[in-house]
């Protein structure tokens, strides 16, 4: 395993008497309310998944990340991790302390404010979410989030007394400290992460098994933070992962854990974010396929692979396993890619996400060359339930 990104696994959680004292102080401080994305970022920062961040970014880090994909100290970092004021609330003063609370009213910790500023969100959208496919515009999901925020960003180190509680997937919520310990116990020296926000279909299965041929273990690490409303819910996806891993993977070389981050649909930049965070979890490799973290046609097909070339040798420790579009090849009778199959288009079986959703909505089973039948059964039942609920 590699050292965490930046060299040290950050821990901003306090316990015991220190926790009690922090909560007592927080009760008398002015508070800022965190939305669901900010809550997931708070959790990731607190447990070290976003090392070397010790809190929400100040302006110097933010400006350099937006412009150059680096923190102010030149450490590679691709996307802003920021806390925003809400509505017309005024920003707290630099040097002050504020309580961090959830929308439920629970206090989670305290921030020591380093600075507050009014960002240029149009510039953030353009710089962080445009690709070679298209310039980011107000139809991009990123603007759907950015446009809801208050006028200021607030930066500073955080100290956390309580992690957010979750109703789902708690048996699969592992901190970086826990995954690193699990990998060591299993005797895995090389671990490949598979980032996903979708059910695993046959092409994904092929990629992960090719990766397993090169490493000691596989961490299937689905994102369970905020996603778009038309993405498949995490509870449905988790059922798919569990049945697939149990039946079709070697369980002694596979581990399932959830990744609490919110989806930003940042394409190439988000691919880097997924990589450095997985390094913090202890992974030595990450699978980067076509249009990783993409949405619509904003990014070029392989932008998320080529963007890693912008960093110098050794700046990112984690290794990227780069894959082209995989498909079922009728010519060879198995899964393949353009690197391993001479098949023409008529001999390739792959379906668009739109076509698959249409089939599932109609209760139709996708072909076995696309999806394992057990996964298709779960998805068909979930779509039927959703249709009934919306009727």
Which tokens belong to 195? 């980032």
Active-site residue among 12, 198, 253, 365?
A: 198
Residue 66 CA neighbour count, 13 Å, CB half? 19
Concatenated DSSP letters for 265-325? --HHHHHHHHHHHHHHTT-SEEEE-TTTT--TTSS-TTHHHHGGGGSPTTTS-SEEEE---
Residue 165: phi and psi, rounded to 5, are -95, 150
269 in catalytic set = no
Is the separation of the CB atoms in 49 and 176 below 8 Å?
Answer: yes
Give the helix ranges, DSSP H, for the chain: 16-26, 36-47, 59-68, 121-129, 141-146, 176-186, 202-212, 234-248, 267-280, 303-306, 353-361, 373-390
Q: How far is CA 25 from CA 43, 56, 137, 154, 353, in A?
A: 20, 20, 43, 20, 50
Catalytic residue among 35, 37, 162, 197: 197
In this structure, is the dihedral angle defined by the CA atoms of residues 331, 333, 336 and 339, taken in order, positive or negative? negative
Q: Is 197 a catalytic residue?
A: yes
So which residues are the catalytic ones?
Answer: 197-198
């Amino acid at each position: 395993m590699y050292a965490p990104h930046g060299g040290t696994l950050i821990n901003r959680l306090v316990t015991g008497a220190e926790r009690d004292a922090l909560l007592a102080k927080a009760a008398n401080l002015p508070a800022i309310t965190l939305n669901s994305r900010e809550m997931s970022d708070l959790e990731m920062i607190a447990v070290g998944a976003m090392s070397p961040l010790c809190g929400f970014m100040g302006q110097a880090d933010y400006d350099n990340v937006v412009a150059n994909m680096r923190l102010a100290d030149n450490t590679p970092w691709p996307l802003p991790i920021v806390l925003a004021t809400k509505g017309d609330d005024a920003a707290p003063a630099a040097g002050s302390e504020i309580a961090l609370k959830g929308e439920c009213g629970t206090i989670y910790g305290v921030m020591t404010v380093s600075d507050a500023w009014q960002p240029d969100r149009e510039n953030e959208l353009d710089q962080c979410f445009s690709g070679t496919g298209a310039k980011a515009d107000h139809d991009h999901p990123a603007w759907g989030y950015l446009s809801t925020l208050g006028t200021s960003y607030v930066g500073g180190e955080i100290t956390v007394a309580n992690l957010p509680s979750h109703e789902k997937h708690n048996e699969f919520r592992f901190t970086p400290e826990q995954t690193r310990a699990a990998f060591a116990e299993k005797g895995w020296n090389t671990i490949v992460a598979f980032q996903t926000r979708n059910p695993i279909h046959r092409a994904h299965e092929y990629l992960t098994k090719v990766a397993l041929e090169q490493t000691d273990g596989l961490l299937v690490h689905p994102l369970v933070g905020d996603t778009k409303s038309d993405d498949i819910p995490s509870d449905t996806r988790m059922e798919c992962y569990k049945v697939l891993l149990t039946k079709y993977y070697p369980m002694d070389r596979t581990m399932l854990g959830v990744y609490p981050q919110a989806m930003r649909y940042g394409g190439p930049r988000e691919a880097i974010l997924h990589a450095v965070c997985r390094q913090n979890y202890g992974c030595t490799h990450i699978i980067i396929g076509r249009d990783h973290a993409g949405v619509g046609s904003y990014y070029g097909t392989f932008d998320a692979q080529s963007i890693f070339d912008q960093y110098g040798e050794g700046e990112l420790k984690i290794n990227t396993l780069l894959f082209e579009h995989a498909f079922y090849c009728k010519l060879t009778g198995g899964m393949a890619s353009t690197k391993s199959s001479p098949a023409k288009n008529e001999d390739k079986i792959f379906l668009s996400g739109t076509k698959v959703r249409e089939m599932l909505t109609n209760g139709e089973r996708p072909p076995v060359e696309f999806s394992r039948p057990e996964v298709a059964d779960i998805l068909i039942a979930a779509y039927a339930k959703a249709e009934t609920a919306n009727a």
